[in-house]
């Protein structure tokens, strides 16, 4: 059980951009300088009010950090943008949860704070068929696995064990080529020996958007310890070459661009400045360290042939990922990019039925 530092502070609106720009440097400085630092999440509570959740391995690590204050320039620069410190409290994180029909455990598969997954187990002894969930978000750290938590809950209700994985993403240390793809491979292979309740002969993977591309990558691996039975790509970017040619994601470089239909708030808005600074030439170039004509071997390596059954889903009003990137999808009339990961939307029935047929 780790320790959570919950700090509420205010920032004057005209300094918000400055604060967000300073945030990644502060987090990097914490990783270098602060023993026991695990992760940080910034939440906007109101226009000028923010909640900072910083996770530490133990009480002593937090106390040591507080004693250091703004000893690093990057940390001091972030602190300088704060107008008022409202409160600072200490809590204890309990990773295991039970609600009568499921258990949830957060399990690390590597040393980085983003190298974790949440293992959901239904009620009973198993063995349970397994679904690996991979969230999207343009492969960036602005979004995390909480985006697909409703799908995890729905799948557990259907009797699956669910491995909802996080991975290093663009904007944080190790994200992009090759770290993001190494993490997907490591997270799936972590299932081997993870829990005796898992039926490792019956594992499928479901990914959304960027996660759809990563799901196809996982399904196409030839060196996997855990073999996948089938894969689902929901609004996935399966044609990275075409996406690169179109400079997919370049709109993220414009902070004033309108939000896509149905888009949820960013989980980690502090990453917005670094993402805007790198998105102008398209996210695939940033993800793989070059355009297709510069590093064609990388594009080929992360889009291997998928030899297991693959379902692709795409909403007809999706204004983020074009259908041409999604392979040969089942089109969902009237659905936008985010409707298709709503377990109450009709599109989810298509996915549920398809998974059930292949896990039988």
Same domain, 111 and 79: no
From 188, 302, 208, 332, select the one nearest 263 (Cα to Cα). Answer: 208
Q: How many domains does the chain have?
A: 2
Q: What tokens appear for 267 in the block? A: 């989980």
Q: Both 102 and 83 in a single domain? A: no
Locate tokens 């392979």: which residue? 327
Contacts of residue 336, defined as CB under 8 A and 6 or more positions apart, other chains included, come to 260, 261, 262, 315, 317, 318, 319
**pLDDT, averaged in runs of 10, over the chain (360 residues):** 84 94 92 87 91 84 87 95 90 53 81 90 93 98 92 95 97 96 98 95 98 98 97 98 97 85 84 94 98 98 97 96 93 96 95 96
Closest CA to 4 of 55, 62, 65, 67: 55
Angle between the 149-157 and 346-359 helix axes, to the nearest 10 degrees? 50
| pLDDT for the residue 249 | 96
Q: Provide the pLDDT for residue 38.
A: 84
Give the integer Cα–Cα distance in Å for 131 and 215.
Answer: 11
Last residue of a domain, one of 42, 74, 92: 92
Residues 39 and 181 in one domain: no
pLDDT given at position 98: 47
Same domain, 74 and 119: no
The DSSP bridge partners found for residue 82 are none
Here the tokens at position 234 are 């929901």
Domain holding 186, by residue range, is: 97-359
pLDDT given for residue 251 in this prediction: 93
Token duo for residue 289: 């360290």
pLDDT at 67: 87
DSSP H helical ranges for the chain? 16-33, 59-68, 73-79, 149-157, 179-189, 210-220, 240-245, 272-278, 283-288, 296-301, 346-359
**pLDDT score, position 317:** 96
State the pLDDT at residue 92.
Answer: 61
CATH number at residue 55: 3.30.70.100
Do both 135 and 28 map to the same domain? no
Spatial separation of the C-alpha atoms in residues 118 and 161, rounded to whole Å? 10
Angle at 99 between CA 92 and CA 151, to 5 degrees: 95
Pair 272, 183 in one domain: yes
| Judgement on whether residues 132 and 234 belong to the same structural domain of the protein | yes
Q: Edge to edge, what strands does the sheet with 97-98 contain? A: 97-98, 102-108, 116-122, 161-165, 128-134, 198-208, 230-234, 310-315, 330-332
Which pTM does this prediction carry? 0.76
- Quick one: pLDDT at residue 97? 46
Task: Tell me, yes or no, whether 157 and 193 share the same domain.
Answer: yes
Residue that terminates a domain, selected from 41, 60, 92: 92
Other residues' Cβ atoms within 10 Å of the Cβ of residue 146: 15
Looking up residue 102, the CATH number of its domain turns out to be: 3.40.50.1820
- Residues 146, 181 within the same domain: yes
Q: End of a domain among 74, 92, 110?
A: 92
pLDDT at 2: 67
Whether 173 and 46 share a structural domain: no
Judge whether 136 and 143 are in contact, CB under 8 Å. Answer: yes
> Quick one: 73 and 126 in the same domain?
no
**Residue 180 and residue 234 in one domain:** yes
């Amino acid at each position: 059980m780790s320790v959570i530092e919950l700090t509420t502070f205010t920032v004057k609106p005209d300094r918000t951009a400055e604060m967000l720009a300073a945030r990644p440097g502060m987090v990097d400085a914490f990783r270098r300088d602060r023993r026991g630092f695990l992760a940080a999440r910034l939440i906007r509570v109101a226009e000028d009010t923010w909640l900072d959740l910083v996770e530490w391995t133990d009480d002593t690590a937090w106390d040591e950090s507080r004693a250091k204050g703004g000893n690093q320039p990057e940390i001091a620069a972030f602190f300088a943008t704060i107008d008022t410190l409202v409160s600072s409290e200490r809590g204890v994180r309990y990773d295991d949860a039970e609600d009568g029909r499921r258990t949830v455990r957060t399990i690390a598969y590597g040393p980085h704070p983003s190298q974790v997954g949440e293992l959901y187990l239904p009620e009973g002894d198993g063995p349970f068929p397994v679904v690996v969930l991979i969230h999207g978000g343009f492969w960036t750290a602005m979004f995390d696995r909480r985006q697909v938590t409703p799908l995890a809950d729905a799948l557990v209700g259907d009797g699956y064990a669910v491995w909802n994985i996080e991975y290093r993403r663009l904007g944080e240390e190790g994200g992009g080529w090759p770290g993001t793809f190494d993490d997907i491979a490591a997270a799936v292979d972590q299932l081997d020996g993870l829990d005796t309740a898992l039926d490792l002969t019956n594992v499928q993977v479901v990914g959304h958007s960027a996660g759809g591309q990563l799901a196809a990558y996982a399904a196409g691996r030839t060196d996997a310890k855990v073999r996948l039975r089938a894969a689902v790509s929901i609004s996935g970017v399966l044609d990275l070459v075409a996406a690169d040619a179109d400079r997919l994601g370049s709109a993220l470089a414009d902070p004033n661009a309108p939000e896509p239909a149905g888009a949820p708030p960013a989980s980690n808005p502090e990453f917005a400045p670094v993402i805007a600074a790198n998105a102008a030439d398209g996210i695939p170039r940033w993800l793989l360290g070059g355009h297709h004509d510069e590093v064609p071997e990388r594009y080929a390596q992360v889009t291997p042939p998928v030899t297991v059954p693959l379902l692709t889903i795409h909403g007809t009003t999706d204004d983020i990922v074009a259908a041409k990137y999604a392979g040969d999808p089942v089109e969902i009339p009237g659905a936008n990019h985010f409707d298709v990961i709503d377990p109450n939307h009709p599109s989810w029935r298509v996915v549920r039925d398809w998974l059930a047929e292949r896990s039988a």
